[in-house]
Structure 1
């Protein structure tokens, strides 16, 4: 169990994320009564880096979040914005209380167990290992994984060899420290966020030559996150398996995927937390929740798949749902 109170942050803004924020908060309050920290919904404010106002203005959403004891945390985008909205999770960290341990979750997550019982060691940060080898994609003429990753560790004065999983073969993606940015945690959000932002700006604005031909969008946050975690003494083995992305949280990402592949328990929880009239009134305004949860399309998606024998690749799951005309995002 974490030995100190900690805060939780998600990001929310107008559109899909505001409804996911309500779901996240409802799941946290339902499944984690022992959580004693603060729940922040970090909301970007209008400014020159946004072409439309990104803030949450829906009064029913704001009221639902308040009733779930979620605190709206406004922040300004100085670096990213509409051009790279994944940067919100980086810039918002500066608005959290300094020196208080934090856990960030992507908004498309449900808390499914007692968060207070997760054995976080905030002095050793980590992140989600529910990840595929999405980056880099080495080109025929090189460099390979080693050359690409080593150039990044060298850029920031980090020890590259100690980041490697030597049980994995050379030039296989799992040998190199790589996370999904769906959750991450650390001891101080401002220190973590400042380094995250500095590394991300450096890679975006002046990528090492070894990254020529590699896509930075949408991967920038996941490229830089391992470097930040390693720089603070964290790593892939800092959190015992089975808690986050396990019994305590579910990063469902999109509602058709939730119904296709997540456990009966996750689906039951979703239906439980969306049932109260005060929540239903808010969420039915969002078409995917209206159709999937309240009108039964999710059950039709679920009937297409055997959870014990799912396709190995997510794209095959998506294609089957699309073929049946049930895809929504």
Structure 2
């Protein structure tokens, strides 16, 4: 593999779960990607009318992140805030330096390999394909996948046909450009973030009539993201990016699912990077981390399943963990 050009990484950090996840991300980045040459920027929402409390991280979390070389940048929540926390990944982009390529990761991601060797093409943005057909939802009187997605492309003056995967059948969800917003990248966070915000707020405030039966919460970011990526000349990631959601990163989502289904390598990295005392004393402040990583609950959950033959769909996995009394998030 070649080496990617210099780029910055963005994750969101705020009070509560997301801040602890950001610290875990930072620890795994430093341990697993020693060649990473860019900046790790943790964007942090600031107090304001769209937050009922103070969304900023406490001092011990901030200090631990800065010890790991993270740069904490504030941003104002003007369009989303507590009513739609996924909007942090949209508004936070505007805190990043203009014109410098970026990769965004959800905070509940673990770095398990060398990110600097992933050959990102920042002029062709892409996003995670580790997704299910969550949106749009099939409804009795809905107009169908094609009409729903075409209405969105038309709204923003985008050409629709080239976004389709013609190897997939008509009216099957995988034919249409749809991503998990757990990671995405682009050439300029200011341009990308401005367009992402503009598309998302217009879809929320004035959706096309074809969307009348569709819920946009929590899917708004994943509805707008493919339109943004397509508008910048991007699309589905090629095989050269398979390390993301593969050997290089893992979007683990919640601790019970990490221990139940992820690879031995992911568990090994998790337990190694959380072992140092300076990290442990902070992460133990988050109850799921304390119980699963430090008190052994994770290993008990892992022993319930054969990782090479996991129950499908994910709901069955969750239900088994809940039945045993081990579920936390």
Normalised TM-score (structure 1):
0.98
Aligned-pair distance for 1:138? 2.3
C-alpha contact 1:110 1:250 (8 A) present in aligned 2: yes
Q: Which residue of structure 2 lines up, in the alignment, with residue 120 of structure 1?
A: 120
Separation of aligned partners in 2, 1:251 and 1:41: 17
Q: Which residue of structure 1 lines up, in the alignment, with residue 31 of structure 2?
A: 30
After superposition, the Cα gap between the structure-2 partners of 1:171 and 1:200, relative to the gap in structure 1 and judged at 3 Å, is same
Structure 2 residue 200 is the aligned partner of structure 1 residue 188: no
Q: Which residue of structure 2 lines up, in the alignment, with residue 177 of structure 1?
A: 177
C-alpha contact 2:4 2:117 (8 A) present in aligned 1: no
Aligned-pair distance for 1:147? 0.5
C-alpha contact 2:4 2:116 (8 A) present in aligned 1: no
Q: Which residue of structure 1 lines up, in the alignment, with residue 5 of structure 2?
A: 4
Separation of aligned partners in 2, 1:45 and 1:210: 35
Aligned-pair distance for 1:241? 4.3
Superposed, which structure 2 residues align to 1:138-149 within 5 Å?
138-149=138-149
After superposition, the Cα gap between the structure-2 partners of 1:2 and 1:212, relative to the gap in structure 1 and judged at 3 Å, is farther
After superposition, the Cα gap between the structure-2 partners of 1:54 and 1:129, relative to the gap in structure 1 and judged at 3 Å, is same
Superposed, which structure 2 residues align to 1:203-214 within 5 Å?
203-214=203-214
After superposition, the Cα gap between the structure-2 partners of 1:239 and 1:154, relative to the gap in structure 1 and judged at 3 Å, is farther
What is the DSSP-based 3-state SS (H/G/I as helix, E as strand, rest coil) of the residue aligned with 2:43?
A: strand
- What CA deviation, in whole Å up to 9, does each residue of 1:27-79 have, x standing for no partner? 000000110000011000000011111011x2221111011000111000111
C-alpha contact 1:257 1:318 (8 A) present in aligned 2: yes
Counting matched residue pairs gives 328
Normalised TM-score (structure 2):
0.98
Provide structure 2 residue ranges, at least 5 long, that are not aligned to the other structure. Answer: none
Provide structure 1 residue ranges, at least 5 long, that are not aligned to the other structure. Answer: none
C-alpha contact 1:2 1:121 (8 A) present in aligned 2: no
Q: Which moved more, 1:148-157 or 1:137-146?
A: 137-146
Q: Which moved more, 1:186-195 or 1:312-321?
A: 312-321
Q: Which residue of structure 2 lines up, in the alignment, with residue 290 of structure 1?
A: 290
Separation of aligned partners in 1, 2:278 and 2:322: 32
Separation of aligned partners in 1, 2:242 and 2:127: 13
Aligned-pair distance for 1:2? 4.9
What is the DSSP-based 3-state SS (H/G/I as helix, E as strand, rest coil) of the residue aligned with 2:183?
A: strand
Separation of aligned partners in 1, 2:263 and 2:122: 29
Q: Which residue of structure 2 lines up, in the alignment, with residue 62 of structure 1?
A: 62
C-alpha contact 1:165 1:176 (8 A) present in aligned 2: yes
C-alpha contact 2:11 2:43 (8 A) present in aligned 1: yes
Q: Which residue of structure 2 lines up, in the alignment, with residue 243 of structure 1?
A: 243
Q: Which residue of structure 1 lines up, in the alignment, with residue 92 of structure 2?
A: 92
Superposed, which structure 2 residues align to 1:271-310 within 5 Å?
271-310=271-310
Separation of aligned partners in 2, 1:220 and 1:87: 9
Aligned-pair distance for 1:242? 2.3
Separation of aligned partners in 1, 2:303 and 2:220: 36
Aligned-pair distance for 1:139? 1.3
Q: Which residue of structure 2 lines up, in the alignment, with residue 44 of structure 1?
A: 45
Q: Which residue of structure 1 lines up, in the alignment, with residue 325 of structure 2?
A: 325
Superposed, which structure 2 residues align to 1:191-230 within 5 Å?
191-230=191-230
Aligned-pair distance for 1:238? 4.5
Q: Considering only aligned residues, what root-mean-square deviation do their CA atoms show, in Å?
A: 0.9
What is the DSSP-based 3-state SS (H/G/I as helix, E as strand, rest coil) of the residue aligned with 2:321?
A: helix
What is the DSSP-based 3-state SS (H/G/I as helix, E as strand, rest coil) of the residue aligned with 2:244?
A: helix
After superposition, the Cα gap between the structure-2 partners of 1:80 and 1:308, relative to the gap in structure 1 and judged at 3 Å, is same
